[in-house]
Structure 1
Amino acid sequence: MTSDIRPRDRSEAARRDVLTGGIVVAAILLFVGTGSNLMHALVQSLIGLGGGPDKVLAAALILNVALILFGWRRYEDLNREIRERTEAEKRARYLADTDPLTGFLNRRALLVAGQQLIAKSAVEGRQVALFLLDLDHFKTVNDIHGHVAGDRVLQVAAERISTVLPPSATKARLGGDEFVALLPFEPGARATIDALAAQLVAALEDSVTHDAQQIRIGASLGIALANDASITMDTMVRQADIAMYHCKDQGRNRYCWFEMGMEMAVQVRNQIETGIRSGMPRGEFVPYFEPQVDIASGRLVGFEMLMRWDSPEYGMIPPERFIPIAEESGLIGELSLQVIRSAMDIAKGWDPSIMLAVNISPQQLKDPWFSQKLTKLLVEAGFPASQLEVEITESSLFENLPLVRSIVTSLKNQGVSLSLDDFGTGYSSLSHLRALPFDRIKIDRSFVAAMRDSADAQAIVVAIVRLGESLAMPITAEGVEDEATAIELTRLGCTKGQGWFYGRAASAGDTAALLAERGLLRAPAIPEGGVAKPDAEPLRKSA
């Protein structure tokens, strides 16, 4: 209905303007004619040669003057309307082309301006570098500090980008925390582009102040190159995006130029992410269990749950292939809880003396509701909290210690045991052992495996064991691969160990068979004679 009315309104206004213009022109012509006659009569009257101006002519002149004033007023109104429409169109174009938060171009305007810049640079014999910059861990800023803080971080990032890059650079915000800049340069000046990229990454590494808080950010920067007019903006953005993700895989907070080999790696990554998304509802991710034993006696005391992907297409996939991608894509929380729930359902059939240890991703410790989610799993599965041990890596403690403290304290209050995993590989801060209610320390496998050949590694293991003794925290050693290492750990006072010497991670069925053999299932089969088989045989690696 509205689209039908507007054309009629515009045509009616145009007709009124034409009519008004005609009336004004006629009034001016009449004014010239009547005004000259009236002035002639007035002059004759003043010199005594006539009886004064004609009243009708005087009235006509006054009417002409009124019409001319009306026309002038209408002319001014039209000019004002044109100015307002022009300004409104400028504002509309600005809003259509500009990101309101940063003042940079938006994606639509970038694609148009960028294509024009590529064509112009090709004619001039210049090349164009496209920077695609993604802020590292920006989602965490929104989750922890709120969206107002997130907006502030984006504005500061835009200011720093503008400060580092030359005024001639075309700058845009693609959306979210992704920024793009286009820089034309001479073919021999690639070193200048490298220098600008390094400065940009360094500038964005500095923290941002918001409400008396220091928010640390960083950036991964991918660079694509256009050296002729045939390259499209869509291609350049895609290539720079691939290079940017390559930076993230290499450790973040750096820049990379796009290379053709990266595209294949991205395709593989996308296949894995797609497989994770489709595999979760199909139950393709299953728990495996690695034995944990009392080193002195060899008695089985628990299992660490390790995740495996039982893919119908690719077979059994180890966690190092898909866990990093699950973390980057934000799927790790849902995936981890799903497999932990499966492990709880399985472990309910174990003897109460057998602990279930589960690893928690650093990404999960950024979720303020994680402890509630895990508690809900315990209730739904009917699994005793006292039989669960949560392993947290050292590196998880440094991004938001107050949140981690809240999570681990809540879990501790539920009766869950807490273990500090991979101790010695991170910051090894004693203040965290004092401030957080950990029950156990786990020595990283790299130190245990190197004990026999490295005096430094052995010294580190001894220091950690002594630290555990002083804090009344038992020590678990990972990576025990031979009897000599087990004997040495026993001599040092390490209480618990796991590794190939005691057995590799096994499926739920093989784990149940092992427990049944040792009489460590909740409902063991009673052999003839009515006596269950005792857990007398130590667990050792078979020949």
Structure 2
Amino acid sequence: MPKGVVKDNSKAGGEKALERAERDLVALGIAVAAILLFVGTGGMVLPQVVRSWMGVGAAPDPILVNALLLNIALVIFGWRRYAELTQEIAERRKAEELARQLAETDPLTGSLNRRSIGAATEKLLSVAHAEGRAVAFVMVDLDNFKTINDLNGHQAGDLLLSTTADRIRALLPRDSLLARLGGDEFACVIPYDPRFPDRIDQFACQLIERAGEPFDYDGLVLEITVSVGITSNLDTGAEAIEEGSAQALIHRADIAMYHAKKQGKNRYFWFEEPMESELRFRSELETGIRRGVARGEFVPYYEQQIDLETGALSGFEMLARWQSPTLGLVSPEVFIPVAEEIGVIAELSEQLIDRALADASEWDPRLSLSVNISPVQLRDPWFAQKILKLLVKHNFPPHRLDIEITESCLHENIGVVRSIITSLKNQGVTISLDDFGTGFSSLSQLRTLPFDRLKIDRSFVSEIGSADESDKLVRAIVSLGDGLDLPITAEGIEDTEILRKLRTMGQLKGQGYYYGRPEAIDAVRSRLDSAGLLAKREATTKSDPPSRAKQRKTG
């Protein structure tokens, strides 16, 4: 038998027991019988007592007097017992009602909770179906709530949740439901006229605008945005949801809300079938990435870095690839963001760096190895120690390793980033600022942080052959590098025209598909072997690697 049926039967049995207790015939019968006996006995005894007190009659029969007193006692006992039982039942009903409210209501916001919203939605669906109305299920999730809660404390977080609930409640039409599903997630169930579905769109727009209004907390002005997902039991483009399918509504609205978050947050989307397929693929991707990290399916590929003045190979940039047994070779644009979100990027990156250092140990000592670092890794205060441990493991000279960090890293925790950069620099590792020009680096950061190189983002370099603005911007970055004594690497060299223009700008390094696609280690080893750039070929003739000062000067 289903669990819900057991609970319902148990509840019904409890209600019947209370009803029987309210009609306690034993106590009530004792009281009524005692009253009847009192009337009958008192009718005989009381006149005799009165005449005896007046001195005009004989004393009443003691047996009848005792019977009268016993009747009085039974009346008092029966009535008191019945009154106490009635009061006890009333208090029990009140306690059960309070317990029910506590079980079905979120104590912070006063709205329904996850446990009760399903049943309440089922009832609303039934009523709306009978009245010819449709029902929309609106999922609301607060964006970046955890950050606000962590920075300002749980009291601020609670105030934000209760304020948001009040704002949503004020916008809800009559007969609607509001629930807090847990954490920072709310749900609204709204009946509406199916001829005017745009009213739900209007509600969503008002909700986003109202929830985004700032509110004061202890002298601070806090702001929040919301992501909203919507579905309906008559959802256009989706199979009509039949009456009694509250869980299907919740599931679809949750998918639409998740899609809104992926599209940039602070917006709303109606559920569409492709969203569910995308979410299913995302779940499979997460599972595959976790499994791939455990099985070592992620491998390093290498892109050549060239001295543009001489055309000589100066090193390689390590790029991640996923050799998935089901998806084939997957590019980092697909799996890196997911790996960062699910918290496995650090382990994945350390595996790749470990393998890349082992590969680069076979190269000519003059060749460098560049490695991209995720912003997530730079939140780890032990990151520098982990890199140095890998260098020691492979006996790899620190000056041959170049760590590339993006401009976005400089705005998350500049203190930790500065400490990590300094620790790596002190050990001889070089640091490059990657994707320069796409972020918000300030001149003071470039001057105070000990960078060794700037890398111009490929979006600027790839357009210098056709757009004068990009040409001028690249020249400006090169001039800035010269002024700060920072060598420049240009990414995204695609053709001879781009190469020709870059060569007129100074002594630069470059990389891009003009020099070839990223290659696996076997292809790289073969390339270096044919060029005589493997370490074993140079064992007897290799010269000391140029000093870092000379490297800086020649770019």
What TM-score bracket applies, with the shorter chain setting the length? Answer: 0.7 to 0.9
Q: Structure 1, residues 55-98: CA drift from partner, whole Å, max 9, x if none?
A: 66555545544444344443343233212221222123223323
Deviation at 1:21, TM superposition (A): 4.8
Structure 2 residue identity aligned to 1:131: V
Task: Say whether residues 1:459 and 2:466 are aligned partners.
Answer: no
Structure 2 residue identity aligned to 1:310: Q
Task: Say whether residues 1:317 and 2:327 are aligned partners.
Answer: no
Hey, what does 1:234 align to over in structure 2? 247
Whole-Å Cα distance in 1 between the matches of residues 531 and 153 of structure 2?
52
Hey, what does 1:511 align to over in structure 2? 524
Whole-Å Cα distance in 2 between the matches of residues 384 and 76 of structure 1?
92
Residues 1:303 and 1:102: Cα distance change in structure 2 (over 3 Å): farther
Q: Structure 1, residues 164-215: CA drift from partner, whole Å, max 9, x if none?
A: 4335322223334432212221123222211221222334445676676666
Hey, what does 1:92 align to over in structure 2? 99
1:524 to 533, 536, 539: 536
Hey, what does 1:361 align to over in structure 2? 374
Whole-Å Cα distance in 2 between the matches of residues 155 and 471 of structure 1?
51
Whole-Å Cα distance in 2 between the matches of residues 139 and 292 of structure 1?
41
Task: Say whether residues 1:341 and 2:354 are aligned partners.
Answer: yes
Structure-to-structure mapping, 1:166-185, within 5 angstroms:
166-185=173-192
Aligned residue for 1:531, secondary structure, equals coil
Residues 1:376 and 1:233: Cα distance change in structure 2 (over 3 Å): same
Aligned residue for 2:382, secondary structure, equals helix
Residues 1:362 and 1:229: Cα distance change in structure 2 (over 3 Å): same
Residues 1:48 and 1:171: Cα distance change in structure 2 (over 3 Å): same
Contact 1:441–1:473 (CA under 8 A) maintained in structure 2 = yes
Q: Structure 1, residues 270-328: CA drift from partner, whole Å, max 9, x if none?
A: 33233223222221111112223343344444432211111223321212233333344
Task: Say whether residues 1:126 and 2:133 are aligned partners.
Answer: yes
Residues 1:203 and 1:511: Cα distance change in structure 2 (over 3 Å): farther
Structure 2 residue identity aligned to 1:296: E
Hey, what does 1:540 align to over in structure 2? none
Whole-Å Cα distance in 1 between the matches of residues 168 and 448 of structure 2?
39
Contact 1:221–1:244 (CA under 8 A) maintained in structure 2 = yes
Whole-Å Cα distance in 2 between the matches of residues 320 and 165 of structure 1?
41
Hey, what does 2:511 align to over in structure 1? 498
Q: Structure 1, residues 346-377: CA drift from partner, whole Å, max 9, x if none?
A: 34444565443333334445xx4x23256335
TM-score, with structure 2 as normaliser: 0.80
2:461 to 445, 448, 453: 448
Whole-Å Cα distance in 1 between the matches of residues 401 and 215 of structure 2?
39
Q: Which runs of 5+ in 2 are unaligned?
A: 1-9, 235-239, 547-555
Structure 2 residue identity aligned to 1:379: K
Whole-Å Cα distance in 1 between the matches of residues 29 and 216 of structure 2?
65
Whole-Å Cα distance in 1 between the matches of residues 159 and 529 of structure 2?
59
1:413 to 413, 423, 432: 423
Whole-Å Cα distance in 2 between the matches of residues 171 and 495 of structure 1?
61
Residues 1:332 and 1:380: Cα distance change in structure 2 (over 3 Å): closer
Contact 2:104–2:113 (CA under 8 A) maintained in structure 1 = yes
What's the % identity of the aligned pairs?
47
Whole-Å Cα distance in 1 between the matches of residues 159 and 448 of structure 2?
32
Whole-Å Cα distance in 1 between the matches of residues 145 and 318 of structure 2?
30
Residues 1:481 and 1:187: Cα distance change in structure 2 (over 3 Å): same
2:289 to 276, 299, 304: 276
Aligned residue for 2:117, secondary structure, equals helix
Hey, what does 1:391 align to over in structure 2? 404
Deviation at 1:438, TM superposition (A): 4.1
Structure 2 residue identity aligned to 1:74: R
Aligned residue for 1:371, secondary structure, equals coil
Aligned residue for 2:132, secondary structure, equals coil
Contact 1:409–1:436 (CA under 8 A) maintained in structure 2 = no
Whole-Å Cα distance in 2 between the matches of residues 213 and 305 of structure 1?
45
Whole-Å Cα distance in 1 between the matches of residues 61 and 307 of structure 2?
128
Contact 1:518–1:534 (CA under 8 A) maintained in structure 2 = no
Hey, what does 1:161 align to over in structure 2? 168
Contact 1:362–1:396 (CA under 8 A) maintained in structure 2 = yes
- Aligned alpha-carbon RMSD (Å): 3.8
Whole-Å Cα distance in 2 between the matches of residues 343 and 208 of structure 1?
50
Q: Structure 1, residues 466-521: CA drift from partner, whole Å, max 9, x if none?
A: 33334443333211223443343343346332222333322123334444556655
Whole-Å Cα distance in 2 between the matches of residues 145 and 300 of structure 1?
52
**Aligned residue pairs, count:** 520
Whole-Å Cα distance in 1 between the matches of residues 448 and 221 of structure 2?
22
Residues 1:37 and 1:391: Cα distance change in structure 2 (over 3 Å): farther
Aligned residue for 1:451, secondary structure, equals coil
Structure 2 residue identity aligned to 1:524: K
Hey, what does 1:114 align to over in structure 2? 121
Q: Structure 1, residues 387-412: CA drift from partner, whole Å, max 9, x if none?
A: 444333334444xx3x3432442342
Whole-Å Cα distance in 1 between the matches of residues 202 and 442 of structure 2?
36
Structure 1 residue identity aligned to 2:299: V
Deviation at 1:445, TM superposition (A): 0.9
Deviation at 1:424, TM superposition (A): 2.1
Q: Which runs of 5+ in 1 are unaligned?
A: 537-543
Deviation at 1:30, TM superposition (A): 3.9
Structure-to-structure mapping, 1:471-490, within 5 angstroms:
471-490=484-503
Hey, what does 2:389 align to over in structure 1? 379
Contact 1:284–1:310 (CA under 8 A) maintained in structure 2 = yes
Whole-Å Cα distance in 2 between the matches of residues 485 and 100 of structure 1?
64
TM-score, with structure 1 as normaliser: 0.81
Whole-Å Cα distance in 2 between the matches of residues 158 and 41 of structure 1?
75
Structure 1 residue identity aligned to 2:168: I
Structure 2 residue identity aligned to 1:478: E
2:56 to 49, 55, 60: 49
Contact 1:451–1:458 (CA under 8 A) maintained in structure 2 = yes
Q: Structure 1, residues 200-232: CA drift from partner, whole Å, max 9, x if none?
A: 233444567667666664333222121266262
